[in-house]
Amino acid sequence: MGEEKVWRKGMKRKASVAGAFYPGSPTELRRMLGQMVEPGAKKEKALAVISPHAGYIYSGAVAGAVFSSVELPDTFVILAPSHRPIHSLFALMKDGDWETPLGIVPVASELAGSIMDASKLAKDDPAAHAEEHSLEVQLPFIQYFKPRFSIVPITISYFASYQDLEALGKAVAAGIRNLNKDVLIVASTDMSHYISRDEAKKKDFLAIQKVLDLDPRGLFDVVKSENISMCGFQPVTAVLIAAKELGAKKTELVRYATSGDRTGDYSEVVGYAGLRIL
């Protein structure tokens, strides 16, 4: 009964990892973000970005560099992996708001509905978002620059096949075309997990090269064949497909880092890549 109340139409998705992945205090959060973004960076008009989702002390500088490097429109479609089982293959939230310490972000209901109309696999399943951090941690970076914007949140099950992701990517592109407004698509992912820095860089750049090549099938296949523990490879695959449908011409690597750059321990790291698709 409590969950039904929380997820009633028009209600808020409360911040789940504030105070853990990032500061729960608005003042402290703004201060931390200010150390990670680059306000003076040259901003390009992009179709999509790829951003990490670890605790800010580890991956925040990469995420900050990415969001600093692009023009931020009024609407975002954010695709993120689910780190726990969910009922839907593609779980959207069609109505309501997301809350972070920096304020309220409304769901772009018209665009969400348009994407669902174009995809039989995309379901209105807000409960799938309740405790997942990978999408939530993107929002404060956007909020730092923009006080008002809306989002379509999409959480993706690990069981999504390439064909499923291809259909989702095309549905996202169709929804954006129908909206006829500027939209930035965001893919949330970390790269290799808990291997040495040298091994992580070797594996990560196999995947990064496929993104640079705008090759979604190649990315999906190399992650599988090389056993790359890139948790958001499925969101990135779908975003590459959507971006290509919308006319993407190139991808640029904005920044790459590992958790070892923060901890000094390079024997077991997590990799983080920030890219923009133009």
CB atoms within 10 A of CB 130: 15
Note whether residue 158 is domain-resident: yes
- SS3 (DSSP) at 190: coil
Rounded CA-CA distance 118/112 in Å is 10
Note whether residue 35 is domain-resident: no
What is the domain count for the chain? 1
Note whether residue 142 is domain-resident: yes
Q: 12-31 pLDDT, tens per residue? A: 899 999 999 999 999 999 99
Domain that holds residue 158: 45-181+193-277
Q: 126-150 pLDDT, tens per residue? A: 999 998 999 999 999 999 999 999 9
Note whether residue 134 is domain-resident: yes
Note whether residue 58 is domain-resident: yes
Note whether residue 153 is domain-resident: yes
Note whether residue 250 is domain-resident: yes
Residues facing 50 on adjacent strands: 187, 275
CATH of the domain at 63: 3.40.830.10
Retrieve residue 198's tokens: 């040298």
Which contiguous run of DSSP H or E holds residue 3? helix 2-6
Note whether residue 52 is domain-resident: yes
Which phi and psi angles does 251 have, rounded to 5°? -120, 140
11 vs 152 pLDDT, higher one: 152
Q: 182-226 pLDDT, tens per residue? A: 999 999 999 999 999 999 999 999 999 999 999 999 999 999 999
* Residue 241: C-alpha distances to residues 47, 80, 163, 202, 246 (Å): 11, 15, 11, 24, 9
Q: Enter the pTM of the model.
A: 0.96
User: Residue 11: which pLDDT band, with cuts at 50, 70 and 90?
Assistant: confident
The predicted pLDDT at position 230 comes to 98
